[in-house]
Structure 1
Amino acid sequence: MLYTGRTLKRLRLFAGMKQSHVAELLQVTQTTVSRWEAGILTPSESQQRALERLFAKVPSTADAALKRLVETSTARVHLICDHSHRLLAASSARRMEWRRDLLGAPMFRYASEDIRKAEGDLAELGWHEARIASLVVETGPNGRDDVPIVAGRVLWERIPLADGATGRLVTTLM
């Protein structure tokens, strides 16, 4: 399938991805993705195949509903890709807490030491093999002003996504 600029932009927006995220996944620059969407450049044959693979994973109706539920929640909650830690959705309360748009951004760089330790313990607990579906984690502060995390507790819940990947719903408990 040959993606037109308009189609590419529509698929990217529906997937909730930034141009920079598409660029990173396809190992091109954000400017290249922008030029594809504007119709100035046409992706090569191999890039077209990579785009097809990428957008074959466009969220299903169930994934879109999950994203909408997270975004309209009154709780402090967000959804990340369990593998890449990229932000897939966030409630308005969470976005206000962060004071910036992080959709598509990898979130692990903002993790506190307690969160990093909990992440390191997941394999031993059987998280990735789905032996456990949820876990309460002590967050500890991350000491950052840009995306602050305060000491507290969050609930991590594994959620299967339509493309076979796993999402992690993160809900602040206190």
Structure 2
Amino acid sequence: MTEETAVLQSSLGPSLRRWRVLNRVKQQALAADLGVSQSRISRWESGVLEPDETDRRKITRLLRARPETVSDRALLELVSFASTPVHLVCDLTHRLLAASPKRTQNWHVPVAELMDKPLWRFASQSIREVEHTLDEKGWFEPLGPDIVYQTERAEFAELTIPQSRIRISRLALSDGRYARLVRDDTVAAE
């Protein structure tokens, strides 16, 4: 996985299927748009086949969160001015879309340096483990549940992830793409 396409294979197929169903796009039409066969779309969605790097980039461009409408920008503003530790990322690419001042208190660089960049490289071991179980926990279902988990403290030059209990929620943007709201469920004592 390159940083440019910081997308986990375990997320790609279910995300593609969910986007296609919600936008009422048939596999055949999507296949024509991407220049592949309908059976290839089916195998990607089921996880039987991984797209090559070129196809992965096409899919990522298609699915990456683009908060462009007034309501989407309002969500970014709410997160940016929240009084609690919270941030919003693209659900597929983990690109930072917004962060609250309480969240950025543990960051060692200005938020602008991380904005619109994947945060996956900063994932602690427990975050990585949870990410690989999202599909089995129903994350990609139409009314998928919030996921709550503990994360350990992780130190990076750019930021510190404090030990905490995290709640992630999957939010549909106006165009059917998804963002992930990441909140501290309870702030653990350090």
**TM-score when scaled to structure 2?**
0.59
User: d(CA) in 2 for partners of 1:166 and 1:65?
Assistant: 15
User: d(CA) in 2 for partners of 1:64 and 1:143?
Assistant: 31
Residue identity opposite 1:105 in structure 2: K
Residue identity opposite 1:88 in structure 2: L
3-state SS of paired residue (2:105): helix
Cα drift, residue 142 of structure 1:
2.1
Q: Calculate the aligned-residue CA RMSD, in Å.
A: 2.4
Q: Which residue number corresponds to residue 67 of structure 1?
A: 76
Q: Which has the larger displacement, 57-66 or 113-122?
A: 57-66
Larger RCO, structures 1/2 (Cα 8 Å, 6+ apart): 2
Residue identity opposite 1:96 in structure 2: Q
Aligned length: 124
Cα drift, residue 130 of structure 1:
3.5
Cα drift, residue 128 of structure 1:
1.5
3-state SS of paired residue (1:124): coil
3-state SS of paired residue (1:122): coil
Match of 2:130 among 87, 111, 118: 118
- Check whether the contact 2:80–2:98 (CA below 8 A) recurs between aligned residues: yes
User: d(CA) in 2 for partners of 1:169 and 1:113?
Assistant: 19
Match of 2:108 among 99, 107, 118: 99
Q: Which residue number corresponds to residue 95 of structure 2?
A: 86
Residue identity opposite 2:115 in structure 1: L
3-state SS of paired residue (1:159): strand
Residue identity opposite 1:98 in structure 2: W
Q: For residues 148 and 58 of structure 1, do their structure 2 counterparts lie closer, same or farther at Cα, with a shift above 3 Å needed?
A: closer
Cα drift, residue 58 of structure 1:
5.4
- Check whether the contact 1:157–1:170 (CA below 8 A) recurs between aligned residues: yes
Residue identity opposite 2:89 in structure 1: I
User: d(CA) in 1 for partners of 2:142 and 2:166?
Assistant: 19
User: d(CA) in 1 for partners of 2:72 and 2:178?
Assistant: 11
When you count helix as a share of all residues, which structure comes out higher? 1
Structure 2, unaligned stretches of length 5 or more?
6-61
**Structure 1 residues 78-125: Cα deviation after superposition (integer angstroms, max 9, x where no partner):** 000100000000001112221322110101110000000000110111
3-state SS of paired residue (2:134): helix
The question of 1:76 aligning with 2:85 is answered yes
- Check whether the contact 1:85–1:106 (CA below 8 A) recurs between aligned residues: yes
Match of 1:156 among 168, 177, 181: 168
- Check whether the contact 1:125–1:131 (CA below 8 A) recurs between aligned residues: no
Residue identity opposite 2:116 in structure 1: G
Structure 1, unaligned stretches of length 5 or more?
1-23, 26-52
Q: For residues 130 and 117 of structure 1, do their structure 2 counterparts lie closer, same or farther at Cα, with a shift above 3 Å needed?
A: farther
- What's the % identity of the aligned pairs? 37
Q: For residues 169 and 58 of structure 1, do their structure 2 counterparts lie closer, same or farther at Cα, with a shift above 3 Å needed?
A: closer
